[in-house]
Copies of this chain bind each other. A is one copy, B any other.
Amino acid sequence: MTTSIKDVALLAGVSVATVSRALGNGPVSPALRAKVEAAVAQCGYRPNLSARRLRSQHTRTVGLIVSDICNPFFTAVGRAVEDVAYRAGMRVILCNTDENPDKEAMYLRLMQEERVSGVIFAATRATADALDTAELGFPVVMIDRAGAAARCDAVLLDNRLAAAQLVEHLLERGYRRIGGLFGNTSSTGAERHAGFAEALQRAGLPVAARFVAPSAAAAQAELAAWLPEETAPEALVASNGLLLLGAAKAVRAAGVAVPQRLALAGFDNDSWMELAEPGMTVIEQPVEEIGRVAMEMLLERLRQPERPPRKVVLAGRLVARGSSLARA
């Protein structure tokens, strides 16, 4: 039995309503306000957020739905989201979907039951395309991946451009047989593949792309199988940090020289990219900015529900390192 606002009122000799007003910022005389604060301090009162949320009908809670918080990209994004959210007096509920549409649906339902103020969502391709954000009952900001048709706010990387940039970098450095490893569940993977393919076609080169499950292990297995083949590439583009990690492991296990026998390049400037010899060439995403902007857009949307949806497209930054050194 915890102490409630009633106990405070009794102790301070005022009404329940006055306590509520003194704690929020209602109009209350300095004298009573002082009495209330004294009583609160004396009995160690803590407001019950469930009751407050029920009565006031807004939860000051946002959901953050990502595929896997263990992916450093989402960790960093999530951290930025939380910082902005807590600073705005909102709480964050984190959900990991493992790129599983069933889990996505389950968590979306949970968000409805929580009556969240809004959701920041990195959806799989399937869900992003099918999602009807209007009937959800709360605003959604898409991150990383956006549904083609989704009429809602989003903050994204210019994936096509970034992938093309990577290919052109490799072409410049003298590589020709360029392969690609892409995630098979996200629209991000698809877009990066599109930019990859376009750039190669512009150069009149064949595109050799493989799609894998979005995990380091899958990428490692795929590349391990690919390396001994005749079609094995001279340079490889990996569609995100996890896949690049897997690729690097496969390369190391096979004892393949980087970049002499195989150049590597990918996405996400994770902490190890600099450290793995000879340094990984990557497109760095502005991870902190993505999370911050997403949360800010959500807050903006809550203030102005009728504002037309907006998509913020951020640019990646090419960080060239030893793994794509110019060909001898």
Contacts and interface: CB of A to CB of B under 8 A. Distances in A.
Interface of A: 2, 46-51, 53-54, 59, 68-70, 72, 75-76, 78-79, 82-83, 91-94, 96, 109-110, 112-115, 137, 216, 245, 248-249, 252, 270-272, 274-277
A299 B50 CA distance: 21
A51 B54 contact: yes
A145 to B, nearest CB: 21
Nearest to A82: B96
B69 A75 contact: yes
29 contacts: A2-B137, A46-B109, A46-B113, A48-B54, A49-B113, A50-B51, A50-B53, A51-B54, A69-B78, A70-B72, A70-B76, A70-B79, A72-B72, A79-B96, A82-B96, A83-B96, A91-B93, A91-B114, A92-B94, A94-B94, A216-B271, A245-B272, A248-B275, A271-B272, A272-B272, A272-B275, A272-B276, A276-B276, A277-B277
A279 to B, nearest CB: 9
A82 B249 CA distance: 28
A188 B109 CA distance: 40
Nearest to A251: B275
A46 B112 contact: yes
A245 to B, nearest CB: 6
Contacts of A91: 93, 110, 114
